[in-house]
Amino acid sequence: MANISAAMVKELREKTGAGIMDCKQALAESGADMDAAISFLRKKGLATAKKRAGRAATEGIIQAYVHTGGRIGVLVEINCETDFVAKTDDFQQFAKNIAMQIAATNPVGITPEDVPDEIVEKEKEIYRAQALETGKPENIVDRIAEGKLQKFFNENCLLKQPYVKDPSITVADLLNEVIAKIGENISIKRFTRYQIGEA
């Protein structure tokens, strides 16, 4: 078994926000490899999030964020299971970070299912036309359009977007990490983004 120092546990805690015992276990499982330990904790967070997904999240907060200069503003509703958790620093910081993400990236929806059908169809049409213009055969045009549509979802759906403060993870990864840390189901319910001059 690899020798795991208190300094390593402390470093992993600072990087992930996970508990001491979880950090020790992750380092033991990964042979004291820091990157592998972070990956282990992410997977564990995902498993915890899946376990909690069915639980009702009816408490929470509405977080407001106005970008410097007052030209962009966001309101986002984030739910959790208890009023107690809604008041914690971790939950409130997560809500602020999500509001800033929305201000910075202007997502079309939270998940691909939230993107209106007319936008999906319009995007598919554009991708099909682009593929046909480059002389691609008809039988693979739909596959190309589908691949580009997935890229569109990754860039324009909040949970699939790279997290602006750490592009190595998605917003969904961040959400799962917070669920694992807090121990309650959390959901991003809805948001509105305002920008000066937008119709």
Span 123-172, pLDDT tens digits: 988 988 888 888 888 778 888 888 899 999 999 999 999 999 999 999 99
Same domain for 123 and 150? yes
Please give the tally of structural domains in the chain: 3
Q: Do residues 8 and 38 make contact, with C-beta atoms less than 8 angstroms apart? A: no
- Cβ(159)–Cβ(175) below 8 Å: yes
Assess whether 143 and 161 both reside in one domain: no
How far apart CA 102 and CA 2 sit, in angstroms, is: 42
Residues 86, 13 share a domain = no
Name every residue whose Cβ is closer than 8 Å to that of residue 54 and which is 6 or more positions away in sequence.
Answer: 185
Element (H, E) at 59: strand 59-66
Task: Kindly state whether residues 12 and 100 are assigned to the same domain.
Answer: no
pLDDT at 115 over 70: yes
Q: Which residues of 109-133 are buried (b: 16+ CB within 10 A; e: fewer)?
A: bbebeebeeeeeeebbeebbeebee
Q: What is the CATH number of the domain that holds 48?
A: 1.10.8.10
CATH number at residue 176: 3.30.479.20
pTM of the complete model: 0.69
Same domain, 10 and 39: yes
pLDDT at 160 (0 to 100) = 95
Name the more confident of 139 and 117: 117
Quick: pLDDT tens for 174-199.
998 888 888 888 999 999 999 998 76
Mean pLDDT of 59-71: 91
H helix intervals, the chain: 6-16, 20-29, 34-52, 83-86, 89-105, 117-133, 138-156, 171-182
Rounded CA-CA distance 38/50 in Å is 19
Is the C-alpha dihedral spanning 172, 178, 181, 182 positive or negative? Answer: negative
pLDDT at 14 over 80: no
- On whether residue 1 sits in a domain, the answer given is no
141 in the same domain as 48:
no
Co-location of 106 and 161 in the same domain: yes
The model's confidence at residue 79, banded by pLDDT at 50, 70 and 90, is: very high
Of all residues in the chain, the percent with pLDDT exceeding 70 is 89
What's the pLDDT at 135? Answer: 82
Min mean pLDDT across 30-44, 56-70, 91-105, 120-134 is at: 30-44
As a whole number, the mean pLDDT across the chain is 86
Using the 3D structure, point to which of 52, 74, 90 is the last residue of a domain. Answer: 52
Query: Are residues 86 and 105 located together in one domain of the fold?
Result: yes
Q: Same domain for 33 and 122?
A: no
SS3 labels along 112-160: HHHCCHHHHHHHHHHHHHHHHHCCCCHHHHHHHHHHHHHHHHHHHEHHH
Residue-range definition of the domain harbouring residue 132: 116-155
Report helix, strand or coil for 173. Answer: helix
